[in-house]
A and B are shown apart, each in its own frame.
Chain A
């Protein structure tokens, strides 16, 4: 769900090609592969998987992390960068957002995030990913190297992809194709919308109808799968064909759900069909953390900054939920389900430290945990020899406003230009101050 942002109109503009001229490719060129190894020295390395080590060197070669250690010798021809006392983290990963799919939320012509109809398992978010989006460089400059973008809609919404954020086009941005099928779960609360209030009984009835419709879609898709196994299908149903990997267990199910009742319904469905389930949203996950852990259901928690879901909940409930998930042993990652505000995810993780996570746990929630949920933990998400050299350097604690200052970012060993539209406008108009 997109964030409803203040002073953005409630109403989606129905026309409006006016922005087309504004959405220009900018002059920030994707980083080139380094011809020679690069040795980073003197860093405090936050490895994620093997703790924090100070005064440590990291060698980048062929786009990978070639070595980690103290006083590493620079290979011949290597570029040595002295980064004494700075902090090195894996490139951060932002799951479940619409980066590159929306440029200006209120301008319909710049929004390719949300399709109509309830049955779009064949939709692939990546094909609308605008690698030249002005938004993306502003996310990178806060330390993010990857984003998993998903198509929105209702019910079966389509497939997400994990993108690296420094690319010429969507094809070279894709890190992991079809990381999962995204499903928006129907409402399960008895409360109608505040803008269109209805009595509880009517809401229950509508909920039941929606749930039944969703279940029917899965039945139909499963029927297609069964017939496919038996060689009995008459042709390719474009929709259900893309559900085959789901039933084969090759493509996980990402269910967007916040309410405890929705999550329970989704768990039942996942169990019925033997599907790997990840919850996206998960506001109520704290109410059922033990069950989620036992059922090995992962959570992409999107409300680290959230207001309480209900009026009786404590003001801090949304803030402490990561800690509850952590303690229960739930596999989880943090996310802000939007696009431009993704750059604040790192601080949301910082706030989760304030509300109970250790710094290491918070770091995992935007690196290795996210990589695991996206199915790419073997290549990214931690600082380990052999993994992609996707690394970010901050002058201080990357999670805190008082320390965060990103000075370098590499993706697959390519040095990323940290310039962005904001810095350019800043530099331009700073000339006018007198």
Chain B
């Protein structure tokens, strides 16, 4: 905040208002009752009554805190205090829909480390939620304490009302709307109960769960579901499924009406916005506004399609640090692009017709608000849209559109009085809130600016004054002397003082001190020169103009953008989404991964995304593109049974032994560059698995590497649901450090009981649900329904053969144990993954009906892989098992063909069988083999063209196709490389030429690339991301 000092006058006025504000209706009066009237007429103003509606020379009448009349023909009734606003512009008071105004902020999250001891429980009191990130029951209006200083800072920006709650946790509690005036909370509250503020970030919660984004999403999902259940169950007398009365739960009670009360959800970027949208769609919650990030422009169409309203912060990123050539190594093209485009985000949203309000949230310094908003206007945001985003839009979002947001009769008298056009260079002079005037500067100040012919010490001089208020300054000149700067220039109402050193003008060493006053354009006063006084008087010769009179208009000066926009918007993104092609591939060596084996000199025709014909010397259908594949090898797209690429904000929710409620599908990151790199290695499909931190991990997601699409677009809809289980060292926390020795289980013997008990619970849960579903409608009226438990639901799906297990496993004993347990509890294991001792137990796995997915040759890195051997795949295959080779690693994922070749080398597997281990075999394991995994007529055209035998170390993917759409081409890649280097260089030049204003912003205002996730990566994502944001600086 700037420390602009208020003029003495306005400070005095403020003090007066504070003392005379009328008492509320319930406080007993002490002393004399204040009955000062508040009837004001602002006359002759330019008035924006609402966005897009302007009246010139209009009058606004304010009576008892409301606007009683507006118009050009309104006459000022007798008894009104008239304020000449003819030099000013009036706007409806601004509303910030996302603040913590009047609420003590949460203490900053303690810097934690992943080595800290885990916290598994929450402090329980008052019927709160079991998770410390849920504060849904908080009714923030009850904690509201008006904050004069904060209110004044917001008023200086033109804000007269705010919607507030504490920014802490996932469910943050119910917001309220208040005026930013002075007074008791009782007077200022405009709407006591508003939307629930929410976010993915667990904030200051010390509880370990959730440690990942997918954990947060699962917690939201469970809580929203619980709210529905609670609504239905609480108080019912028949509690047959609980054997005790349904508990009181304040958190759930408070969100039982969330559909009506609405949600304001804080997002971090476009991905998080679309993710939140998806989640609320599941619950058909329409009344959700998203706090934006500035990244919305990169997925504009999808965000518009979401239909959500936005609340946009105006923090822009600081220019990437390219001043030193060496530091350019650390700057990405994506960041350079965002620096250039972020200020144009609001304009892009407005043009697309996405409704949004503006907020001061995320500004490191409030004084950045107007400069940044003007940047947005320069980038094409119309002033009408900008004004709507400050008035009618936030009024609508906060549910106060009937009272706030317009200058109209009946509306609360919340008005901004500005000198000039705020969206150009105007400044805010005063606000009225509920009819109370709050000056930022003096209204109608005496203007001293001009020239005055005076004499001092016998010398004729011209005193030239410029500026006003605190910025009043001046010079004195004589015909034979250089200009001398006046010092200590002070104006107060009509009075003026300044000092003048006489040395230059008269040669005297003395200082002349002027004091006088300006009346009727005549400055009268006296010089005090040491003991001598001289009276003077002069008429002002030229008068200054107010900004309103200068009428500077905001201008859009958006220059040409140097940055490209691509999908995703980063290096190697595509200028437009890739399109399906019909193509005739001629004369390739075709590895079918079917019984046909390897076909020499064969043609393949791809039509409408599918393999249409396979044969020799086929004729090219009309309109089909032709690829001459002479000398090339054509294989099915590579499929990876075990991958952690394209997962955002945590691969493990390792904070509980069973987390079957979390879903990798919730956290797909379509911008992960490893997708593109995978394509370059021929990979088209992968199962993204939860990590291996717990015996029953999260739900998996099969994706296809459709580079450029959104998270939803990557998902392979035909893949049935699957889930990660894990056994051994990771789940028993062998290598997590000394702090992690308390979670059950700590041994392989405990892993068995953990899984057994979870399935036991799932069975009982299933029985209860079935029993409830059999009840008649009438019976259900009295019966408290069982609570939907997403954790157990996933296990029920397993029992129902609707969800398939891929279990991380290494040693023989744990493999046999899980098979025994599966038989006992009635579930199947689809695939043992990693399974480095699979060769010891292949008979048993085969008998169970399980398949195996293993590493080609990894071993020795931990105790449980000491017996891993590179012939594992061969031995399991020899036993008759379905075997695949997986990567579990972004680097390996791009040479799975080479990994498969190791079985040819180490144990003589046939080349075609080896290739099947990374194509049709994993397709079978993922149960997508009817769709993909081989070159077969009717299957989806997922294929790779290689320069040579794909099992050779010398092979390189030339083209990679998914569903008849080409996503990678080695020649296009070279072009992209050249283009991006040129674009990078141009943007770096642009930064180097930019002025400080264009460079200023948040250094942490960029998306962060994810670390390469591995299945054991276990840190608390929220602590990691908090570090970053706590340390952000601006310059």
Contact = CB atoms under 8 A, between A and B. Distances in A.
B521 to A, nearest CB: 54
Contacts of A261: 326, 329
Contact of A9 (B676, B677, B1016): B1016
Given A197-B1024, A315-B677, A315-B894, A6 B888 contact: yes
A8 B680 contact: no
A339 B888 CA distance: 19
A104 B861 contact: yes
Contacts of A8: 735, 861-862, 1016
Contacts of A195: 114, 1011, 1019, 1024
A356 to B, nearest CB: 11
B953 A347 contact: yes
Contacts of A314: 973, 977
B570 A401 contact: no
Interface stretch (A11-19, A78-86, A271-279): A11-19
Contacts of A307: 674, 677, 890-891, 1012
B322 to A, nearest CB: 11
Interface in A1-55: 4-14, 16, 18-19, 22
A236 interface: no
Nearest to B642: A6
Interface stretch (B252-260, B365-373, B817-825, B869-877): B869-877
A312 B858 contact: no
A190 B869 contact: no
B1028 interface: yes
A19 B1024 CA distance: 33
A303 to B, nearest CB: 10
A430 B875 contact: yes
A107 B952 contact: no
B862 A105 contact: yes
A260 B326 contact: yes
Interface string B896-913: 001001101101000100
Interface in B144-201: none
A16 B321 CA distance: 46
B894 A429 contact: no
A305 B735 contact: no
B905 A13 contact: no
B243 interface: no
A432 B843 contact: yes
A10 B1016 CA distance: 6
Contact of B1018 (A10, A196, A405): A10
A311 B570 contact: yes
Nearest to B869: A422
Given A5-B858, A7-B692, A190-B330, A312 B571 contact: yes
Interface in B273-331: 321, 326-327, 329-330
A347 B902 CA distance: 10
Contacts of A194: 1008-1011, 1024
A372 interface: no
Nearest to B1019: A195
A7 B888 contact: yes
Interface stretch (A169-177, A199-207, A217-225, A324-332): A199-207
Contact of A19 (B861, B863, B891): B863
A5 B861 contact: yes
A22 B738 contact: no
B980 A107 contact: no
Interface in B332-355: 332-334
A153 B672 CA distance: 32
A9 B737 CA distance: 10
Contacts of B980: 312
Q: Interface residue tally of chain A, by bracket? A: 35 or more
A245 interface: no
A402 interface: yes
B673 interface: yes
Nearest to B681: A315
Nearest to A401: B901
A399 interface: yes
Interface in A252-277: 259-261, 264
A344 interface: yes
A interface secondary structure, majority: loop
Nearest to B1018: A10
Contacts of B905: 401-402, 404-405
A22 B1003 contact: no
A354 interface: yes
Contacts of B444: none
A306 interface: yes
A284 B1003 CA distance: 26
Nearest to B955: A354
Interface stretch (B119-127, B577-585, B834-842): B834-842
Interface string B564-592: 00000011100000000000000000000
Which has the most chain B C-beta neighbours within 10 Å: A10, A14, A305? A10
Contact of B329 (A189, A341, A351): A189
Contacts of B808: 7
A104 B332 contact: no
B321 A9 contact: no
Given A7-B862, A314-B973, A315-B973, A400 B1009 contact: no
A262 to B, nearest CB: 10
A9 B735 contact: yes
B984 interface: yes
Nearest to B111: A196
A308 interface: yes
A287 to B, nearest CB: 8
Contacts of A202: 1031
A6 B860 contact: no
A350 B738 CA distance: 43
Which has the most chain B C-beta neighbours within 10 Å: A5, A340, A350? A5
Contact of A196 (B860, B977, B1027): B1027
Nearest to A318: B891
B542 interface: no
A9 B734 contact: yes
Interface string A320-359: 0000000000000000000111011001001101100000
B665 to A, nearest CB: 22
B1015 A6 contact: yes
Nearest to B808: A7
Contacts of B1032: 199
B956 interface: yes
Contacts of A234: none
A197 B1028 contact: yes
Interface string A291-323: 000000000000001111011101110000000
Interface in B655-690: 673-674, 676-677, 680-681
Interface string B859-889: 1111100110111000100110000000011
Nearest to B1029: A197
Contacts of A106: 729, 734-735, 861-863
A433 interface: yes
A350 B984 contact: no
Nearest to A307: B891
Contacts of A11: 115, 735-737, 1018
A340 B859 contact: yes
Sort A-B residue pairs by CB-CB distance and give the 4 closest, nearest first.
Answer: A9-B735, A106-B862, A401-B901, A350-B953
17 contacts: A6-B1014, A7-B1014, A11-B735, A106-B729, A197-B1008, A261-B326, A308-B677, A312-B571, A312-B980, A315-B572, A315-B894, A315-B973, A351-B898, A402-B901, A402-B911, A422-B859, A426-B907
Given A307-B891, A310-B330, 17 more contacts: A5-B861, A6-B1016, A7-B692, A7-B1015, A11-B1018, A106-B861, A107-B863, A195-B1011, A196-B1027, A197-B1028, A200-B1003, A305-B891, A307-B674, A312-B332, A402-B949, A421-B869, A429-B840
Interface of A: 4-14, 16, 18-19, 22, 103-107, 134-135, 189-191, 194-202, 259-261, 264, 284, 305-308, 310-312, 314-316, 339-341, 343-344, 347, 350-351, 353-354, 399-402, 404-405, 421-422, 425-426, 429-430, 432-434
